Amino acid sequence: MTKPLTKDDYRPGDVTVHRDPVRLTRVVRALRAAGRNIALVPTMGALHEGHRKLIREAHVMQNTVVVVSIFVNPAQFGPNEDFTTYPRTLESDVDVCREERVGLVFAPAAEDVYLPGATATVHPGPLGDELEGASRPGHFAGVLTVVAKLFNIVQPTYAVFGEKDYQQLTLIHRMARDLNFPLDVVGVPTVREHDGLALSSRNRNLSEDERQTATALSAALVAGAHVSGLGAETVLRTARDTLAAVPGVDLDYLELRAPDLGPAPENGDARLLVAARVGATRLIDNVAVLLGAGDE
């Protein structure tokens, strides 16, 4: 029999922070038994307006309690990446969650998520070795493993992710389908600054000059999408020329793919994706493109 919730477990109208996965699972099970849906917003913290948008979209789901996870996942960082310097701002993140009427925050320690001796991981399949995966070996195995763990711990009805990490979203959709997770994965369009730069926790690592340089990524995507009626080659050439005109952008990849990240079609819906370093900061972005929609 499910034990009744106490104010230490869940306070309607205020945010409750949980660190223990077992206790959180007990809370969400009790909420679901009481007829509530659970909407999970997985994050690594350093919450910004993009995360607020995800939380607000989660609130749109009917009869939901919103759970935000805040966990800097060590398994998705490579040996030369920014795990140790990734921003950790739990106190202010909880304040954001309170302002956005989040019900539960899950902020575990690494040893609570990855038990001693644990070796099982989720393999992302061939797509995990392409695009971001080619530059960051093992990254998506780390992402999918922690997301699968969150799905099992939080047991959400809905899980909400941003489209800025489009390959990640695509792989999570596939994992949820292939492994029969009983939930809906919801994608939310990218939130941008007034100058087009996609919101990211890593933007705070940019200097003022680098911040200006970084707008070249979104400018290139917009330029490519603007000529989509002239075909894939023109889209890629236009985007690449836009990037090349801005010193300080170290391009990793610029690719045009189908919406499921297979080969791009000759006509129809596609996705234009970019990754580049500006200074020491690696940034990614993407936009939807409609190929063959007519001459520009």
Rounded-to-integer distance, Cα 115 and Cα 152, Å:
15
Q: Of residues 51, 59, 173, 194, which has the active-site annotation?
A: 51
Q: List own/partner pairs for 123-128 with CB under 8 A and 24 or more apart.
A: 124/171, 124/175, 125/171, 125/174, 127/167, 127/170, 127/171, 127/174, 127/261, 128/171
Q: Which one, of 196, 198, 197, lies nearest residue 188 by Cα? A: 198
SS3 (DSSP) at 185: strand
Rounded-to-integer distance, Cα 219 and Cα 244, Å:
12
Q: Which residues contact 72 (CB under 8 A, 6 or more apart)?
A: 44, 45, 83, 86, 88
Query: In one letter, which amino acid is 72?
Result: V
Strand order across the beta sheet in which 268-278 lies: 249-257, 268-278, 281-291
Specify whether 48 is catalytic. no
Place of tokens 């099982």: 120
Q: What is the set of active-site residues?
A: 51
